[in-house]
Structure 1
């Protein structure tokens, strides 16, 4: 994920007001201009975005702030991509739409996985400094708030996980309906039943009104990304479906395979190198989840069989997947 800028909506001021937190003091602590919100939506680099959330955490000095943010969220403080997603038929559809447009408003990519049992939304942050814990916790709280606003029901996640989980607290556990657990990824899971509850806010005509502008903005953002980054993002979507060929990825990016290779060569890399690097990082992340059998990891990485995955992993690390997992030698796992 390349360094980019992300929109911080003026509705943030209303949210801070509702929380009883001084916007001016947060901006001063974050070393941002005092009149930051004076002229509508503002954009922040990843560093500034993180600083804002660190300053908010420091100013509030409240271990339950993420839960309070979740309770304070309302349609009035949602920015256009989120408001548009609230027009969806259900949480599953909203999650898929938000995942597509999230890079416009926050330095994170979302993976959305849905099956007969549950809906899981996993966060992948950019390489470099780790995101502030308050930001991660607030992003997790957002999903419970969205589900409740859309369905007008008290929907609770079945699992909430963070890489830097806070100390358990009664208020936060009450908000989520479950403790935030320490894990190797930041993720929130809802039952398939809750993810399919109809949103009473559904308005397809409103979504059709917002979608073209969001797609235009997303196209501008993607145009600033390197070809290698675009290939990694496409692989993230296609590998679990068993597709790893350059033809499939080039087709998704609306390029010919030859043009794709030429653009990658201009960035001093090639398709096979990007594919291998993406698979290695995903493999480390998947293997850190001990509930996933190695055969399932191989499948998620689009290998034809488990032996092919074993050979590739040994080539990357000098270890078998089982040896790496048993020796906890997975600390190099990074977001793709």
Structure 2
């Protein structure tokens, strides 16, 4: 294994731009009928990876691992995608921090709030939960937009949430809508996911699930307040340690991912959410060789290219998601970043072989 893969397999402990791999994965994959050796060989990773403690992988390596899982599942059974294969065997025996924290919750709403709060301990993701009168919209975004997660991983995360609701309530919870970028095109695979979710999978800019409000409040039969009270202090401490050691650029990007769609892009808003003064924020960013405006522009540029490449959204819709007042403001900013208009970039992407 080359030096890059050795470094990725060991990871910089605590970095918010790395994904955690837990020993419980070995049990889950075994139950799903997926041999770990061929998966790890495909991913060019050490054969004992799933037996190690505190494994963290960078985005590129983690996504390669998931692509290998998807490929191996297709080799074992081409008629059953990896996310659905894993969902069939997912149970409380699989000790994963995300699953454990969720199962101890009172209901799906409580579980989603906990996952959103602690997800950075296991992955550079932002889980957003938008509550409306009749429905709740759950979206998944990523802190690292230089790498794009494979569809098999996005599908797994959405399958995970639905399976969690069904497992904890012992009822056939069905989402109202589900989608992710580049969903399966084949009729057979689309049909399998439609059967599992109960609704067709559509193409959406971000991995998205929409639950009925009633399902979000359905009681979890697995609720365990005593167990949660025992483990939560350690999770809070780990989150505090992560925030303390993480670079300010990473923390600002994480916060902006949550605030951009609401148009909250000022340094004052971000400083307040991070619990630091604007002076401290400016100083920390300067120490890391950037400014708040440069960090904001870089993130907006990355997100804009992502939306232009993977969606059919209009400039007005993209400008809203990026926190601009109108599409003209977005177009001017995008031209300043790239020297091109959004439409020209979208055309180039479509014609690029």
- TM-score category (smaller protein): 0.7 to 0.9
Among 67, 81, 84, the alignment partner of 2:84 is: 67
**Residue 248 (structure 1) aligns with:** 269
Cα distance in 2, alignment partners of residues 290 and 112 from structure 1: 23
**Number of equivalences:** 322
Q: 1:98-117 alignment to 2 at 5 Å?
A: 98-117=115-134
Q: Distance in 1 between matches of 2:177 and 2:228?
A: 29
How far did 1:83 drift?
Answer: 0.4
Does 2:24 correspond to 1:11? yes
**Corresponding residue of 2:166:** 148
* 1:147 to partner: Cα distance: 0.5
Q: How does 1:254-269 map to 2 (within 5 A)?
A: 254-269=275-290
Residue pair 1:81, 1:214 contacting (<8 A) in 2 also: no
Task: Write out aligned runs for 1:174-323 (5 A).
Answer: 174-240=195-261, 243-278=264-299, 294=316, 298=320, 308-318=325-335
Match of 1:87 among 104, 107, 111: 104
Displacement of 1:291 after TM fit? 8.4
Secondary structure at the aligned position of 2:146 is classed as: coil
CA drift of 1:66 comes to 1.5
TM-score (norm 2): 0.79
Q: Secondary structure at the match of 1:76?
A: coil
1:56 equivalent to 2:65? Answer no
- The answer as to whether partners of 1:162 and 1:185 remain within 8 angstroms in 2 is yes
* 5+ residue gaps, structure 1: none
1:37 Cα deviation after fit: 3.0
Q: Which whole-Å CA distance do the structure 2 matches of 1:121 and 1:331 have between them?
A: 31
Distance between the aligned counterparts of 2:52 and 2:286, measured in 1?
A: 42
Aligned counterpart for 1:139 among listed residues 139, 157, 164: 157
| Whole-angstrom distance in 1 between the partners of 2:254 and 2:71 | 34
Q: Secondary structure at the match of 1:165?
A: coil
Per the alignment, residue 11 of structure 2 pairs with none
Pairwise CA distance, 1:34? 2.1
- State the distance in 2 between where 1:112 and 1:193 align: 15
Output the CA distance in 2 between the equivalents of 1:187 and 1:237.
Answer: 15
Query: Structure 1 residues 229, 107: closer, same or farther in 2, change over 3 A?
Result: closer
Provide TM-score, normalisation by structure 1.
0.82
Distance in 2 (CA, whole Å) between partners of 1:35 and 1:203 is 33
d(CA) in 2 for partners of 1:330 and 1:76? 49
- 1:16-51 CA-to-partner distances (Å, cap 9, x unmatched) read 121112122222222222222334453323233222
Offset from partner CA, 1:268-307 (integer Å, 9 cap, x none):
3322343455456667778987789959964x6666xxxx
Q: 2: CA distance between counterparts of 1:296 and 1:3?
A: 26
Partners of 1:92 and 1:114 within 8 A in 2: no
3-state SS, counterpart of residue 37 of structure 1: helix
Give the corresponding residue for 1:45. Answer: 58
Q: Secondary structure of the residue that 1:210 maps to in structure 2?
A: helix
